[in-house]
Homo-oligomer: A and B are copies of this chain.
């Protein structure tokens, strides 16, 4: 069944509606392309105990966990402590990260800056050619920054570090003018006949082009294509808008 993953988003700013969360979709697309199933996302408050509890639970049930947010130098940046506690590990200072911080801040570097070199014991630094700063990984947990611009910069690291073993997932879509209730019987039939793919049905609200988008996802392109062909065969030609990769 391949590797499974969960994401833990740490951020009061998201739970109070100040900020639109943007990192989950970026991560989800990367994992999909890598053939890793993202099964669960949790958004929690900036609290060491809460983060520790969530992290421990997510890690127990998934091969990989990705955290987003809470890695700066202020009082509300408690992700490292939370992850360490959740994994039963101490917090240590990484000499490599401390060097990078010293090089970056030069003579104005302070103890507060250097706290950003604190990591759970047992950590690995993972980097890639195109990312200037490494990411921290420990026990299958990748600790990633919350700022969307910086989060995106870490994606090449994940791509290299987690390179697909046997290929990623593929997805195809069929756009139709049918409504969901008209499609429901057909969907039931194709879902039952193709247990190896995941089929989704998404109505649009006021798109003039189509009424429902059907998606077929899977690890095997031939299986995905077979299900798409069967869906298309069950839709009246006049209601079939287009197929998309």
Residues of A within 8 A of B (CB): 9, 12-22, 24-32, 37-46, 72-77, 110, 112-113, 147-150, 169, 171, 180-185, 187-188, 191, 198-203, 205-206, 215, 217
Contacts and interface: CB of A to CB of B under 8 A. Distances in A.
A149 B202 CA distance: 13
A198 B24 contact: no
Given A74-B187, A203-B147, A17 B32 contact: yes
A38 B15 contact: yes
Contact of A113 (B149, B181, B215): B181
Contact of A205 (B30, B112, B147): B147
Nearest to A188: B75
A181 to B, nearest CB: 4
17 contacts: A13-B200, A13-B215, A14-B28, A17-B29, A17-B30, A19-B25, A20-B25, A40-B42, A40-B44, A42-B42, A72-B201, A74-B201, A75-B187, A76-B200, A112-B180, A148-B205, A150-B205
A183 B74 contact: yes
A150 to B, nearest CB: 7
B181 A18 contact: no
A30 B183 CA distance: 35
Nearest to A33: B17
A11 to B, nearest CB: 9
Best-surrounded residue of A17, A40, A41 (most CB of chain B within 10 A): A17
Contacts of A12: 198, 200, 217
